[in-house]
Amino acid sequence: MGKFFINGGKALQGEVVLDCAKNSLLPILAGCILVDGKVKLLSVPKYSDVIAMCDILENLGAKVCWLADDLLLDCSCIDKSVICHELASPVRSSVFTLGPLLARLGKAKVAYPGGCDIGLRPIDIHLSSLKQLGCKIIEKNGYIYGEKGDNGNQSVVLKFASVGATENIMMFATLLPGKTQIFNAAKEPEIVDLACFLNKCGACIKGAGSDVITIDGVQSLSGCEYLAIPDRIECGTFLIGAAMTHGQICIKNAIEKHNEVLIEKLKSCGCKIFSDQNGLHLSSPKTLESFGDVETAVYPGFPTDLQPQIVALACVCNGCSLIFENVFESRFNYVGELLKLGGDVKFKSSVCIVRGRKKLYGADVFATDLRGGAALVLAGLASEGYTTVNKIEYIDRGYYNLAEKLTKLGADIKRL
């Protein structure tokens, strides 16, 4: 069980470069199943979820190898369509293999996915959409059995703009003859990134980033070289960390547009934020005012993946803040740990109320999930005294070299 040992109270200062987006790389890795050729993904951070997806692909018969920070994959000889519980249950993104396996091999047997404990996380939209597109889907003994049919309709309407379901269906339709349309599609930047990757491999996908995506099926996909977009959640995490520690940072490769709503909230707290040719700059005032309230929503709304981090920020702002979690039904499991650091936080169902405090004080805390764990690190950095964040394997799912990056920014943090 890894831990971070933090001596808080130091301002984050300096420059940082974002890694490639975890939530782009995971569906892109699943998308490699569609590709009858070699793929080279550039500058891939060794997130533990990425490693888990590589294990899944290798188990299907793909060749996977690292060349320094680049990841080389060859799925041309994929011959298995079964993903066992041991490989599927550690990650949510294992379910993203369903569409590609059905498209490429015509059948699939995939155990239920896992993922952070932030709600029930059903996969009904994935499965009902695949059925609408003609697939035979049976759920039995903890597995999803699928078979590609040939008389599906050519459009699906998602009852909720699910990121994963949009990605799964988009990948399935890539090799489906004819035109397929996805209505009420998710619009996250990672969806656009996946479509760009697939189109670079020869797919014909239009409308990604809007709520109607049109896919013209092609015979096959060939390999390509691809660099995924910078991770907007890592970006938001660093922006909030700099704000909480009254620091001053420059994020070299940030895409400002991907964090528009957060940037507005941070400006309302008193931070100065601007972009120039060097990157996205934030400088934080000596005292922070509360941002008031924030509601998580699908993109371009405030991202649910930054909800724990902005609750941590609210703990050190003057005044009262209200945070509404509208995407997942139980994404406040980390709050109990924030209380140990002196946060004045209450929540009831999907609403969280925070009364800002002058100071937080270091304590021994335990990560409950990926983004809740990140929020505890930020709170530890802003606390007076020593904080130990335990169970950091949750954090390793979506942050690579976090302690090294924070140390370069002036934090006193060690990985034990």
Nearest CB to ligand EPZ, comparing residues 288 and 298: 298
Cβ of residue 93: shortest distance to ligand EPZ, in angstroms? 5
Nearest CB to ligand EPZ, comparing residues 126 and 258: 126
Check binding of 332 to ligand EPZ (CB under 6 A): no
Beta pairing class for 386-390 and 3-7: antiparallel
Check binding of 29 to ligand EPZ (CB under 6 A): no
Check binding of 139 to ligand EPZ (CB under 6 A): no
Query: Which residue has its beta carbon closest to ligand EPZ?
Result: 164
Cα–Cα distance for residue pair 34/100, rounded to 1 Å: 6
Q: How many residues bind ligand EPZ (CB under 6 A)?
A: 26
Nearest 5°: the CA angle 381, 386, 391 is 75
Cβ of residue 327: shortest distance to ligand EPZ, in angstroms? 5
User: What track of x and - describes contact with ligand EPZ for positions 277 through 306 (by CB under 6 A)?
Assistant: ---------------------------xx-
For residue 116, indicate whether it is catalytic: yes
Check binding of 234 to ligand EPZ (CB under 6 A): no
User: One of 54, 75, 116, 317 is an active-site residue; which one?
Assistant: 116
Q: Contact with ligand EPZ (CB under 6 A): which of 15, 124, 139, 364?
A: 124
- Collapsed DSSP state (helix, strand, coil) of residue 248: strand
Which structure tokens are listed for 59? 């188990």
Q: Contact with ligand EPZ (CB under 6 A): which of 109, 126, 187, 232?
A: 126
Check binding of 10 to ligand EPZ (CB under 6 A): no
Q: Contact with ligand EPZ (CB under 6 A): which of 66, 80, 160, 212?
A: 160
CB 356, CB 377: distance < 8 Å: no
Q: Give the end-to-end CA distance of the chain in Å, rounded to a whole number.
A: 9
Cβ of residue 294: shortest distance to ligand EPZ, in angstroms? 15
Residue with tokens 């699943």, as numbered in its chain: 30
Cα–Cα distance for residue pair 33/102, rounded to 1 Å: 10
Nearest CB to ligand EPZ, comparing residues 16 and 125: 125
Cα–Cα distance for residue pair 367/395, rounded to 1 Å: 8
Check binding of 26 to ligand EPZ (CB under 6 A): yes
- Collapsed DSSP state (helix, strand, coil) of residue 118: coil
Check binding of 23 to ligand EPZ (CB under 6 A): yes
Nearest CB to ligand EPZ, comparing residues 245 and 307: 307
User: Burial, 319: exposed, middle or buried (Cβ in 10 Å; 0-12, 13-18, 19+)?
Assistant: middle
Q: Contact with ligand EPZ (CB under 6 A): which of 121, 131, 200, 267?
A: 121
Nearest CB to ligand EPZ, comparing residues 342 and 373: 373
- Which residues, 6 or more positions from 338, have their beta carbon under 8 angstroms from its beta carbon? 311, 312, 315, 345, 365, 375, 376, 379
Backbone φ and ψ for 200, nearest 5 degrees, come out as -65, -25
Residue with tokens 């490693």, as numbered in its chain: 51
Q: Which of residues 43-102 bind ligand EPZ (CB under 6 A)?
A: 92-93
Cα–Cα distance for residue pair 294/310, rounded to 1 Å: 9
User: Burial, 128: exposed, middle or buried (Cβ in 10 Å; 0-12, 13-18, 19+)?
Assistant: middle
DSSP symbol at 289: B
Check binding of 371 to ligand EPZ (CB under 6 A): yes
Check binding of 125 to ligand EPZ (CB under 6 A): yes
User: Which spans in 10-133 are helix H?
Assistant: 22-31, 48-59, 85-88, 98-105, 124-132
Cα–Cα distance for residue pair 268/262, rounded to 1 Å: 10
User: What track of x and - describes contact with ligand EPZ for positions 164 through 203 (by CB under 6 A)?
Assistant: xx--------------------------------------
Nearest CB to ligand EPZ, comparing residues 98 and 116: 116
What kind and span of H or E run contains 414?
strand 412-415
Cα–Cα distance for residue pair 149/363, rounded to 1 Å: 56
Check binding of 116 to ligand EPZ (CB under 6 A): yes
Check binding of 398 to ligand EPZ (CB under 6 A): yes
Q: Contact with ligand EPZ (CB under 6 A): which of 163, 249, 379, 381?
A: 163
User: Which spans in 77-123 are helix H?
Assistant: 85-88, 98-105
Which residues are the active-site residues?
116
Residues in the site for ligand EPZ, rule: CB under 6 A? 22-23, 26, 92-93, 116, 119-126, 160, 162-165, 304-305, 327-328, 370-371, 398
